[in-house]
Structure formats: structure tokens, C-alpha cells
């Protein structure tokens, strides 16, 4: 699976990854991994990994860097979106207002 690292802590070897399938986030704990001498991932890195579900938690295994800093703006963009007080909906609300001229259909409905 591919994903973008949203948060990482190199000293603890942990990371949170937003997955390409838009499902739950995946969690990486490098104590379970053998990462070699490469530097740990940073927020915004595009990574490829194997995933398994353990007790309803998605765990990333065998992570590999695909593109460094590919989604650098993603964590901040998500942070800003999370604090936006406007409702997020694709629904379009149309206000009801009194028309100057009534349509013939409405007049017929009342008359019938």
C-alpha cells in the first residue's frame, strides 16, 4: 500500500500514515521493523508498506521510502481543514422566498 506520513517521531521510531485507500490511518512502530541505517521518515514522505489489521488497528510493516517530501503540505492542509468552522457538505440549501408572480402550476395545485 502507498501512503503519506502525517506525523513522525524519529526518536521513538513511530509514524502515522494516511493510506491511499482513504481508510483508517496506519500506524508504524519501528521497534517491530528493521529499517537499516536509513534516516527515519518525515511528515510528507510518500511511503510504500505492507499492512495488517491487529485488534481493529492498521499496522504498517516493511516500510520503504518512495518519494521524500512528496506531500509536505498535506499535514498542514489537514490541520487547517480540521479547524475550519464552516460545515463541510456538498448539499446545496436553497432559501424559500415569496415570488412576485406565482407560477401557474402552484395556482392550479391550490385550486384543485
- How does pLDDT run across 40-85, given as a tens digit for each residue? 899 999 999 999 999 999 999 999 999 988 887 877 777 776 655 5
Cα separation of 41 and 59, whole Å? 16
User: What are 25's three cell numbers?
Assistant: 490511518
pLDDT at 16: 94
2-77 carries CATH number 2.40.50.140: yes
Per the CB < 8 A criterion, the answer to whether 52 and 61 are in contact is: yes
Spatial contact of 28 and 60, defined as CB atoms under 8 Å apart: yes
Check pLDDT > 50 for residue 37.
no
42 CB-near residues (< 8 Å, 6+ apart)? 5, 8, 10, 68, 69
CB 60 within 8 A of CB 54: no
Amino acid at each position: 500500500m502507498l501512503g503519506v506520513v502525517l506525523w513522525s517521531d524519529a526518536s521513538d521510531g513511530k509514524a502515522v500514515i494516511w493510506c491511499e485507500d482513504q481508510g483508517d490511518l496506519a500506524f508504524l512502530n519501528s521497534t517491530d521493523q528493521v529499517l537499516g541505517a536509513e534516516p527515519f521518515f518525515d511528515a510528507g514522505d510518500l511511503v510504500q508498506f505492507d499492512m495488517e489489521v491487529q485488534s481493529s488497528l492498521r499496522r504498517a510493516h516493511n516500510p520503504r521510502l518512495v518519494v521524500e517530501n512528496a506531500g509536505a503540505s498535506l499535514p498542514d492542509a489537514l490541520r487547517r481543514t480540521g479547524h475550519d468552522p464552516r460545515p463541510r457538505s456538498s448539499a446545496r440549501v436553497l432559501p424559500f422566498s415569496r415570488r412576485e408572480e406565482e407560477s401557474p402550476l402552484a395556482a392550479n395545485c391550490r385550486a384543485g
